[in-house]
Structure 1
Amino acid sequence: MFDKLFQAQQKAEEVKKRLDNISVSGEAEGGKIRVISSANKEIKEVSIDADFFQNADKEELEELMVVALNKALAQAENVSQSEMQAVSQDLIGGMGGLGSLFNK
């Protein structure tokens, strides 16, 4: 049983490392504001089109930054959930007949 817990912990660490290397992005205003994040929800880069920046007011820029950030973080969450779900399925499948104990 402890082997399975240790294996689960190792798998979780592997997923975390993999998520660090997956990039996702969120955009607003047709790509004029772009945010790149890791799938672990760490913001890596923010870019704003120079022309848009010159002509945007502070409030508009702040609102669009929030939109782009939220889109990037939502994508990161989706990727993270997919990766964790795949690992969970592997671990549950690896428990053999243990799952049948609860069906009796």
Structure 2
Amino acid sequence: MQEKVNLLTSIPGIGQQTALMILTLLPEIASSENKSLAALVGVAPFIQGGRKTLRKALYMAAVASVRWNKPLADFYHRLRAKGKCGKVAIVAVMHKLLSMVSSVYKRKSPWVENLA
């Protein structure tokens, strides 16, 4: 379990508590695709509801990611520049962050920022 937590905490904005919540409240992360994970959590643009506790944890991780994760910060500011309100932009960041978490978990390698 510690190895999985270390993988997820390699993503800037994901702390140990958020990683543990993802691993315990979202056991489907190993077998589901990004769209179905987003629907389960409730951050998909076409669905409401989902797992409230996990969504709250992802919200706080998204707020931290906007500050510490450059690709997600750029994405957030791009959405805000297009006229999206703050909450909509944060939910989009949550969706993208969930995709990053899924990718890191399935690849079993730490997150690396693409500098190319």
Which TM class, normalised by the smaller chain length?
0.3 to 0.5
Higher relative contact order (CA 8 A, sep 6+): 2
Query: TM-score under structure 1 normalisation?
Result: 0.33
